[in-house]
Chain A
Amino acid sequence: MTKIQFRVLYREFLFRIIDLELLSADALGDSNKLLGQFAALLIVVSIFGLSGPVLLVAGRPTPPEVWLFEAWSVEHYLIATTMLVVGLFAVLSWDTTFPDARDVLVLAPLPVRARTLFLSKVAAVATALGLTVVLLHSAVGFVCPLVLGVHGTEQLRVPAMEYLPAMPPVDAAGIEPLLKRDLPRGLSREVGVVVGVVKHGERRIFAYGTARPDSIYQIGSISKTFTGLLLAQMVEEGKVRLDEPVRELLPAGTVRKPSGREITLLDLAVHHSGLPPMPDNVNRSGIADPAIVFANYHGADLDAYVAQHGVGREANPPFEYSNLGFALLGEALADRAGLSYPELVAQRITGPLGMRDTAVVLPAERQQRLIQAYGTRHEPVPPWELDAFAPAGAISSTAGDLLTYLEAQLRADSPALRMSQQLRADVAPGTRIALAWMYDERTGTYGHAGAISGYRSYAFFNPRGGYAWVVLVNQPTSLLAGLVPLHIRQRLAGEPAVSLASLTIPSSGGFSGAVRMFPAYWITMLGAGAFVYCSVLGLQGFAAQLLPRRLFLRASSYLQLGAFCAIICVYCLQPMMALPENLLKANGHGLLAWSPSLWFLGMF
């Protein structure tokens, strides 16, 4: 009897959820048609909304490390979207989970136990949710395991993406044993990393992998801080003014005076000039090799761009990182000084500070110490030679020389150095900018990163803590090397630190990869859906148990609204990309650590 009642009520409730609650209050019995429409809608979403990103990622010729994170990002998107759909479904069918007044009035005179009624309701909603998940993944649940599973990757070592507990702040010498423990094992065999640390005057330089302590690296955009310091020096000497229009420094006739506001030297130095990241005449011939493209971009090209586009600017242009802006700033300063940009750097910065291994154009005798750079597929790549873009990124240096430079920044014993650190504009919440230096307000750290050819470089100094550090890498996709600057800062400051331990991701792909991927995919998706449904059900259940009945009835709709908003907000506000920094945050103590979709990504 109870089984029959369960079956009858289950069928009734299931039909009613799909027919009325989800589709239309005016369904009026044409449920088969509406059920078909509902299924078709979910299948279309599955084909176009969900399968699209999978195919996009699978078809991209990206390096294995990058591909791995893109695949995880797609998986996270699918998990989060599943949770969103199931969550909204559960919230919209809020009143159907527990027997409502209509059910009580219709069914109470009948010989049906309350338990049978409740269980059949829960089973009906759960079935409807299960059907939704299955339909939502009807296409992508086949495409994703097949495509991503077959594609796979070779064996990779990736950072563990976890945090280590805090320990007392370490000194410069104390950094080495911390790095030595995990870093060398996690690097690919061609990668060479040099780390330089100075704290309260104590300097240490450590080299790992193929690097030597005196290896020379191209430092890319860290060069912009040199250009910023040159500007400060010339302002101090009265040769230029921060609010001086850049037009006045360029050769006469280069560009016409605009009618309104025009770009000043300060605008260029803080990326608030309104200029784009790169000029549009940088590669008109369509050459694929960026090394050739940038080497062939000369001052005349830059002047042609400026002449064509002018130097006017909006009232308050937002922050926009611009290599073009720094190229123009460097050219303008060099013109005013009557020297070339390399001469200006040598005469005003590297010469006085004794940075003998640092130059815009590396002399032949130091070329042999320039460490080989590698590309995203671990293939050797040549260094880039910049001409007009030199002030934005052409300098080569060593960890030792950069430490010397950063020590000077820490001392800040000249008005120009102090001026170069003076904060002048906003970049993003929590980040401000001085003359090229980015400033993190939370940690009180100035810093800049550089990326050129296969080189990656990081330079930071913290005047409050009296320490500075530099990390130089010769391969752009080494995720582990990218975490080293953060690890060092955290250890110098005595904070919990990101681990430098690595995990081995076994090689995958082929038929067996796809076979393994299918159960993993479906278990993850169904689990994610069940989790959200149980959370919503649990919320209702707890509220029903904890609150007096009258209060529960009043609070129920507010709880429903709250759950609805929470599900939407979590989906929209959390980062969808499973990038290393996001995965790190998810393993830390911040809000992202509370994202259920990332928990299920971890499970996957």
Chain B
Amino acid sequence: MLELRNITKRFLGIAAVDNVSFTASAGEITGYLGPNGSGKSTTMKMITGLMETTSGEVFFNGERIQRDLIAYKQRLGYVPEEPHLYAHLSGLEYLAMVGQLRGLPAKPTADRIDGLLRLLSLHGDRHAPISAYSKGMRQKVLLSAALLHNPDLILLDEPFSGLDVGTGLVLRSLIQELAARGKVVLFSSHELETVERVCSHVVILHRAKVVADDSIEHLRTLMAAPTLEAIFSQLAVEQDTAAISREIADLIQA
């Protein structure tokens, strides 16, 4: 179980994440939502140990992650928002390097990499440098790297970015499958329809604070809203979207 307790992160005194607490349980997919700049990626970085908190603690299975960060990272799989990779390596080389750095046994890992590359339709390009990959192909490499060591905690920050429809559907099923196998899955995305389909539990962030932390079903009832999009609009969208659209159209026509 992943637990955030009163996490705050300040940059030059300004809170990017303000007193955020929630829990993501094993076997369930937790959606982590919020508009741009609400603090989602900052939270993700604190959960991965990439960034230290200003105050508050992150716990995994009841232990502070900072107590043994290396052991924690052995159990963590992370797909970041931006595809940061060593672009001069090929996909195969990159995954082999990640396997070695994770201390995985060579032969089974090679087989696992081969399988992942086949299943994600990268096998034909496995020797090409990542610099020649499309955004979707890079995303597949990141996904493979995140799952290579069979992690207990999977953090997905906009994992559908750049993926084609087919792979998107595979990923959606995969997330559900992983959760069903007892993994903790924290899933951050702007694709509310997907979130609504795969997540049982959502945390909505607005202006650095948690404004909702509940099951989608309960939120629908509570807010008398038919969809997650409607819930999200009520909680985290302050603008009159129709009025803004009209203004933009008027502006470019003027």
Q: Which residues of A contact B (CB under 8 A)?
A: 1, 4-5, 8-9, 12, 16, 19-20, 27-29, 102, 104-113
B88 touching A8, Cβ below 8 Å: no
When distances are taken between beta carbons in the complex, the residues of chain B under 8 Å from A105 are 50, 80, 82, 84
With most chain B CB atoms within 10 A of its CB, the pick from A5, A19, A109 is A109
Question: Which residues of B have CB within 8 Å of A27?
Answer: 88
Q: Does B85 contact A (CB under 8 A)?
A: yes
> A106: which of B49, B84, B102, B132 is its contact (CB, 8 Å)?
B84
- Contact between chains at A16 and B86 (CB < 8 Å): yes
Question: Which residue of chain B has the shortest Cβ distance to A102 in the bound complex?
Answer: B84
Q: Which residue of A lies closest to B84 (CB)?
A: A105
The one of B48, B86, B89, B129 that contacts A109, using a Cβ cutoff of 8 Å: B48
The reply to whether B88 and A20 contact each other, CB–CB distance below 8 Å, is: yes
Within 8 Å by CB of B101, from A9, A102, A104, lies A9
Judged by a CB distance under 8 angstroms, whether B230 is at the interface is: no
> Is the pair B74, A111 in contact by a Cβ cutoff of 8 Å?
yes
| B220 in contact (CB, < 8 A) | no
Please pick, from A4, A12, A108, the residue contacting B49 in the complex, using a CB distance under 8 A: A108
Determine chain A's interface SS by DSSP, over half rule. helix
> Is the CB–CB distance between B82 and A111 below 8 Å?
no
Task: Decide if B103 is an interface residue (CB 8 Å cutoff).
Answer: yes
Partner of B88, one of A4, A16, A109, A110: A16
Instruction: Given A105-B82, A109-B78, check contact A12 B102 (CB 8 Å).
Output: no
* 25 interchain pairs, CB-CB under 8 A: A4-B103, A5-B100, A5-B103, A9-B101, A12-B97, A16-B86, A19-B88, A20-B88, A28-B129, A29-B129, A104-B50, A105-B80, A105-B84, A106-B84, A108-B49, A109-B48, A109-B78, A109-B80, A110-B101, A110-B102, A111-B71, A111-B73, A111-B74, A111-B101, A113-B70
- Given pairs A29-B89, A109-B50, A111-B74, 15 additional interface contacts (CB within 8 A): A5-B101, A5-B103, A8-B100, A19-B88, A28-B131, A104-B50, A105-B50, A109-B73, A109-B76, A110-B98, A110-B102, A111-B70, A111-B73, A111-B101, A112-B101
Chain B residue with the shortest CB-CB distance to A105: B84
Q: Is B25 an interface residue (CB 8 A)?
A: no
- The answer to whether B73 and A29 touch across the interface, beta carbons within 8 angstroms, is no
Instruction: State the 3 A-B residue pairs at the shortest beta-carbon distance, nearest first.
Output: A105-B84, A111-B73, A109-B78
Question: What chain B residues lie within 8 Å of A102 (beta carbons)?
Answer: 84, 86
Q: Is B43 an interface residue (CB 8 A)?
A: no
Output the nearest chain B residue to A7 by Cβ-Cβ distance: B100
Of A1, A16, A27, most buried by chain B (CB within 10 Å of CB) is: A1
**Known A28-B131, A111-B73; contact A8-B84, beta-carbon cutoff 8 A:** no
In the bound complex, residues from chain B placing their C-beta under 8 Å from that of A20 are 88
Question: B: which residues have CB within 8 A of A?
Answer: 48-50, 70-71, 73-74, 76, 78, 80, 82, 84-86, 88-90, 97-98, 100-103, 129, 131-132
CB distance from B89 to the nearest CB of A (A): 8
In the complex, what distance in Å separates the CA atom of A109 from the CA atom of B85? Answer: 12
The residue from A1, A8, A19 contacting B97, defined by CB atoms under 8 A apart: A8
| Bound Cα distance A16, B88 (Å) | 8
Interchain CB contact under 8 A, A28 and B88: yes
Most chain A CB within a 10 A radius of its CB, from B88, B90, B102, B131:
B88
Q: Which residues of B contact A112 (CB under 8 A)?
A: 70, 101
Distance between Cα atoms of A109 and B49 in the complex (Å): 7
Q: How far is the CB of A38 from chain B (nearest CB, A)?
A: 16
Chain A residue nearest to B131 (CB atoms) is: A28
Once bound together, how far apart are the Cα atoms of A113 and B70, in whole Å? 7
A503 to B5, CA, bound (A): 76
CA distance A16 to B89 in the complex (A): 10
Least Cβ–Cβ distance between B12 and chain A, in angstroms: 10
A8 neighbours in B (Cβ, 8 Å): 97, 100-101
* Contact A1-B84, Cβ < 8 Å, known A109-B48, A113-B70: no
Shortest CB-to-CB span from B205 to chain A, Å, is 21
CB neighbours (8 Å) of B74 from chain A are 111
Which residues of chain A are within 8 angstroms of B132 by Cβ–Cβ distance?
A: 28
Q: In the complex, what distance in Å separates the CA atom of A1 from the CA atom of B99? A: 12
Q: How many angstroms between the C-alpha atoms of A105 and B83 in the bound complex?
A: 9
Chain A residues with CB under 8 A of B73 = 109-111
Residues B48 and A106 in contact, CB atoms below 8 Å apart? no
Find chain A residues with CB under 8 A from B49 CB.
108-109
Q: How far is the CA of A463 from the CA of B78 in the complex (A)?
A: 84
Residues of chain A lying within 8 A (CB to CB) of residue B102: 110-111
Known: A4-B100, A8-B101, A9-B101. A108 touches B88 (CB 8 A): no
Chain B residues contacting A28 (CB-CB under 8 Å) are 88, 129, 131-132
A105 to B84, CA, bound (A): 6
A12–B80 contact, CB under 8 A? no
User: Closest residue of chain B to A28, judged by CB?
Assistant: B129
- CA of A110 to CA of B74, assembled, Å: 7
Contacts of B48 in A (CB 8 A): 108-109
**A420 CB to closest chain B CB, in angstroms?**
74
Contact of B86 among A4, A12, A111 (CB under 8 A): A12
Which residue of the partner chain, among A1, A4, A108, A113, contacts B50 with CB atoms under 8 Å? A108
Closest to B130 in A: A29
B100 — which chain A residues lie within 8 A by C-beta? 4-5, 8
For B72, the closest partner residue in chain A by CB is A111
Chain B residues near A113 (CB-CB < 8 A): 70
- Give the nearest-CB partner of A11 in chain B: B97
Which residues of the other chain, A, contact B50 by a CB distance below 8 angstroms? Answer: 104-105, 108-109
B-chain residues with CB within 8 Å of residue A4 when the two chains form the complex: 100-101, 103
Q: How far is the CB of B49 from chain A (nearest CB, A)?
A: 7
How far is B86's CA from A108's CA once the two chains are assembled, in angstroms? 13
Residue of B nearest to A109 (CB): B78
How far is A106 from B89 in the complex, measured between Cα atoms in Å? 13
A9's closest neighbor in chain B, by CB? B101
Cβ distance A313 to chain B, nearest Cβ, rounded Å: 64
CA A12 – CA B86 in complex, angstroms? 10
- The closest CB in chain A to the CB of B75 belongs to A111
Task: Give CA–CA (A4, B86) in the complex, Å.
Answer: 19
User: Which residues on A sit within 8 Å (CB–CB) of B131?
Assistant: 28
Q: With both chains docked as a complex, state the minimum distance between the C-beta of B11 and any C-beta of chain A, in angstroms.
A: 11
B90 touches A106 (CB 8 A): no
Q: How far is the CA of A12 from the CA of B97 in the complex (A)?
A: 9
A1 to B105, CA, bound (A): 11
A29 with B88, Cβ < 8 A, contacts A108-B48, A111-B71, A113-B70 known: yes
